[in-house]
Amino acid sequence: MTTPPSSTLTPSLSSLQRESLDRYTSLLLAWNSRIRLTGYHSMDQVREHLLLEPILAFHFLRQRIPDPLPRIDFGSGNGSPGLILSILDPDHSYLLIERVEKKRVFLDFVARHLALSNVTILPALDRPVTSPVVFMKAITVDDFLHDRNIKSHLSPPAFFVRFGQDHTKACHPLLSCVINGGVPEWGQHISFSLFLLEFSG
């Protein structure tokens, strides 16, 4: 497969989106002093390392993901990318799966504080899901495919959006690209690898 050319994005955020993302960041940093959610300790660090990737990925993928497919963030942790995507994409529901209870408490608090009615937070997949789009950051595709609850409830195909590369034998790459650009209001720029895979069962 030939490598597609780089895509350059400079997404703009609405004032409501910026406000919600700033509130998320403030809550993350406040909670991080009590439970470890991230190694970043400033607004700028969180914006650069936790917000920009999902913002750029959302703007790149929003015309490429079929509208009715369910969206799952597997291993939601501190809320990146799942909570970020739900802020940017209020017209779709996001299922955030996080095993660690104290992290689920944080995710639930932020979702309620920001009135994110399109977010459901669970410790494991407990319902049938067909052909989902699965977003992952720290968790690998193999972790997802070997989860017993996933095996019980998921009907393939599944489409994976993983930040960074993840070569899994059960999957074949649909697209691999580098996205450059940032949010102009922040004056930040980032480059990262976005790897899309399809699992057919």
CATH number for the domain whose boundaries are 7-199: 3.40.50.150
Long-range CB contact pairs, 108-112, < 8 A, 24+: 109/27, 109/31, 110/24, 110/27, 110/28, 110/79, 110/83, 111/83, 111/86
Residue for token digits 């929003």? 62
Q: Are the C-beta atoms of residues 148 and 88 closer than 8 Å to each other? A: no
Look at residue 122 in the predicted model and tell me its pLDDT. Answer: 97
Distance CA(129)–CA(5), nearest Å, equals: 33
Tell me which amino acid residue 24 is: Y
3-state secondary structure 136-176: ECCCCHHHHHCCHHHHHHEECCEEEEEECCCCCCCEEEEEE
For 18, phi then psi, to 5°, come to: -60, -45
Q: What is residue 15's three-state secondary structure?
A: helix
3-25 pLDDT tens trace: 445 567 888 899 999 999 999 99
Reported confidence tier of residue 67, pLDDT bands at 50, 70, 90:
confident
Rg (CA), the chain: 16
pLDDT above 60 (res 59): yes
Instruction: Transcribe 54-93 into DSSP letters.
Output: HHHHHHHHTTTS-TTS-EEEES-TTSTTHHHHHHH-TTS-
| Crossing angle of the two packed helices 101-113 and 15-32, in degrees rounded to 10 | 150
pTM for this prediction:
0.91
95-142 pLDDT tens trace: 999 999 999 999 999 999 999 999 999 999 999 999 999 999 888 888
Counting Cβ atoms within 10 Å, is residue 70 exposed (0-12), middle (13-18) or buried (19+)? middle
Break the chain into its structural domains and give their ranges: 7-199
